[in-house]
Structure 1
Amino acid sequence: MTAKVRYTDNKPKQSRIQYIIYLCDDGPIPCGGWADRQRGIVGAYLLANVTGRRFGINMTFPSDIKLFYVPNIVNWYIRESEIQGLSKEFLRWIDNRNGPKDVNGDFNVKHPRDVIFLRTNMDIITQIQNSPQYGHLVPETFRNLNRGTVFHTIWHLLMKPSLHFEERIDMFMSKLPRTDELICAHVRMRRNPTIPNDGSQINSLSTVKYLWTFLSKFPNASRVFIATDSIDVRLSAKKYFGSREIDIGGMVLHVDRQGKKPNAVWGFEMALLDQAVLSRCPVLVVSKSGFSCRAAMMSHLDQELYEFNNGTISPYLRLKSEVF
């Protein structure tokens, strides 16, 4: 994603400060994986923008998001003292791919409380763009852009790596040769021995050999970076590529389904590092997974993109408009 968009704030003016705060804590209602959270954060921000509310993020599970990402241009840090004594409502918008009807009507009339804590994993960008109530309030600079470009723009308005996280990224990237290309792939398996409680499997271990063969066709690739949710895939890549294969290493976990495991904070950091490296790859093979697709949306590079789907690798042309 290389489009550079100038941002203008089109918020309608409010007589008092009201808030939409994206919420992800360790309560009984799941938040979803990291890509679900990214999707929810961006959608919640755009909703806050068009409804005239201040936007905040409260993500503390499995660790505080501010360990890894901090406010960039938009300050989303809301102190507890700012909302103390204000009326509050908790909304749950999870897994409804058609989007809530609230976006098509007057959100502030239906939800008049001062502070809305919104737990969501929904992509509502297009719905807000097309909303009779709010479409004209979407900032003009990305009113008619596809959702991938809107995601890229909003993500970088909101987020920059923390000093600690930036150092971790730089430390890893500094080990790579500067003369040759870094070829990267994300192999999402879903249910597998590493994450047995994930959804139904979308790729199989027996088909990754076709991906390894494909990656070997890039002659200038002195390093092949593999991100995966399966230890078995990681071992297979190491066996095939030998010293050419690199990865973040460490713990592999699903940040939502396994977020209460010991050392889950460490596993969360490994996952975020994986995505950060994927976003810096000139050549990237994604899986049918929001994790690597969001990495491509985050990227400032004009990446050469492919998709791995259970043994088949094909050019990936839909990413800038696809919903993940």
Structure 2
Amino acid sequence: MMFKPKRCFLIIGIIILSIVGLLIQSEYTGLTQTLESIKKSTHKDLSADTTRPQLTRYTKQDENQTFAIQAKLGKLDQPISKNKSIDAIEVPTNTTQNNTKLTSVKLATTIPKTIPATKSVTTIPGKTIRSSNEISQARKVDSDKYIVFLCTGDYLCGGLGDRLKGIQSTFLLALALKRKYRIISTVPCDLYNQLEENQEPWHGPITPGLKNKTISMIDGYASCGNAIFGKTNTTKVDFDEKFPEPVLLIRTNQGWTHRFHEEPYKTMLTSIGLDITHFTAKKIISKVYNHLFKLKPNLLSRLHEFLSRIRSKPGMKLVCAQIRIGYNPSIPHETTKKKRNKEEWLPVLWDFLSLYNISSKYNLFITTDSQEIRDNSKKLFPEIIMDTEGEITHVDRFENKSKACEGMAKTILDFTILANCDITVVSRSNFGKLSSELQSPASKLYIPRGDNTRGARRKPGRKGV
């Protein structure tokens, strides 16, 4: 039987179209699987890759957390295991930026927003000022003797975080002993230029002519507080017998909070109405800080201007990152060349922050000791980045005193802004750790997980102690 030519061509055409259809369907299925694979890899469980640094969120239930930092959860939040990776936590969705890996720098076409150095405003953001707290209510002075935090001359004091630890420790000692308390901090310039007295007259004069003694306890964490408290599990020495001088000046960056759980200091504190269970490093810093300090009007104006701009739309949230690198061209006088945080976790950080690259919902603030990172963040996130004016300065590692004083104002402003963030990532640094502990209980905190840092013993930069 012979097929007609037209019918043959029709059958051949149908066969060819069927084959093409099958090929297209196969390619579509493969492409769909590929796109789905890319999507999953963008939001994959980073904790499965043990070779890459991780970001972990901590909650108040995590007692054995790295760096002893805890996240503050709102009433609607559920406790999150510290082993959960960042993609398992509530993050923004339905945005193309979420699938963008921002591990390389791309030049911005818009100018990032920078808050001017001076701006006059009349209202005060109430979130950062507290008129009273447990410490303020318990504070009593029934002695003419003084405990003084000292940061002067050519001696090491540490950065702002180190100094705040020392201030907290020495103030708690004055609180327990019911002594007067003073802060003498003039490196690189007087702390009173940026922070003024709130509930404590820490900047007042010291009665002239009194005999004094100076104690230095910088670093030396293995013997933390021993010069004051003695060694643990030993017979305690009466403080007035050990230090009969009316004025005790103390240089320290140590955290002594745990030592106040020992006698006789535990009884001293409970006798003035304090709950000793609140005396943990993560609970007490906000009470001490707000009892002692409030911003000077010029810095308060700059803070208000910053917060007003980021809250310009209802529901806007502030995402923050504190990135401490350590030795780098921005702080060439760092006394050790060891890195504070490994650079390998920076791509992970950029990827995490890209989840919030939505200008209608979020603003981003990054504080760092590296100008390179500061510049890169502006190029990566030009639509949401907010910055504060001023040069990067380490307040204990400087060459130009005038610039260092200006840098100290920026440092304190940045520290206060971090305390007002809704979502924060902090690296290994007392600066980031302490600022996060001043935050609202509803804020969310993340830190690098894994062996991303290594502690380094500081070498004397100016005079040793």
Structures share a fold, TM > 0.5?
yes
Partner of 2:355: 217
Identify which of 254, 258, 262 aligns with 1:126: 258
Identify which of 76, 93, 117 aligns with 2:217: 93
CA distance in 2, matches of 1:159, 1:53: 18
| Residues 50-70 of structure 1: per-residue CA shift (max 9 Å, x gap) | 123111111111111112111
CA distance in 1, matches of 2:342, 2:374: 13
CA distance in 2, matches of 1:233, 1:204: 13
CA distance in 2, matches of 1:123, 1:100: 8
Q: Where do residues 1-324 of structure 1 align in structure 2 (5 Å cutoff)?
A: 6-7=134-135, 8-9=137-138, 13-14=142-143, 17-25=144-152, 27-79=153-205, 82-97=206-221, 98-101=223-226, 102-104=228-230, 105-128=237-260, 130-139=261-270, 140-145=273-278, 146-176=280-310, 177-179=312-314, 180-198=316-334, 199=336, 200-205=338-343, 207-218=345-356, 219=358, 221-258=361-398, 260-308=400-448
* Deviation at residue 301 of structure 1 after TM alignment: 4.6
**SS of the residue 1:308 aligns to:** strand
Q: Cα distance 1:68–1:234, how it changes in 2: closer, same or farther (>3 A)?
A: same
Give the structure with the larger strand fraction: 1
Q: Cα distance 1:114–1:259, how it changes in 2: closer, same or farther (>3 A)?
A: farther
* Deviation at residue 256 of structure 1 after TM alignment: 0.4
* Deviation at residue 243 of structure 1 after TM alignment: 2.8
**SS of the residue 1:150 aligns to:** helix
Q: What TM-score results when the alignment is normalised by the length of structure 2? A: 0.62
CA distance in 1, matches of 2:345, 2:263: 46
Partner of 1:320: none
Q: Cα distance 1:184–1:10, how it changes in 2: closer, same or farther (>3 A)?
A: closer
Partner of 1:322: none
* Deviation at residue 161 of structure 1 after TM alignment: 1.1
CA distance in 2, matches of 1:184, 1:28: 34
**SS of the residue 2:274 aligns to:** helix
Q: What TM-score results when the alignment is normalised by the length of structure 1? A: 0.87
CA distance in 2, matches of 1:43, 1:248: 30
Alignment RMSD (CA, Å): 2.3
Aligned residues: 305
Task: In structure 1, list runs of 5 or more residues that go unmatched.
Answer: 313-324
* Deviation at residue 93 of structure 1 after TM alignment: 1.4
* Deviation at residue 41 of structure 1 after TM alignment: 0.5
**SS of the residue 1:21 aligns to:** strand
Structure with the bigger RCO (C-alpha within 8 Å, sep 6+) is: 2
Q: Cα distance 1:260–1:50, how it changes in 2: closer, same or farther (>3 A)?
A: farther
Q: Which moved more, 1:284-293 or 1:103-112?
A: 103-112
Task: In structure 2, list runs of 5 or more residues that go unmatched.
Answer: 1-71, 74-131, 231-236, 453-465
Identity within the alignment, %: 28
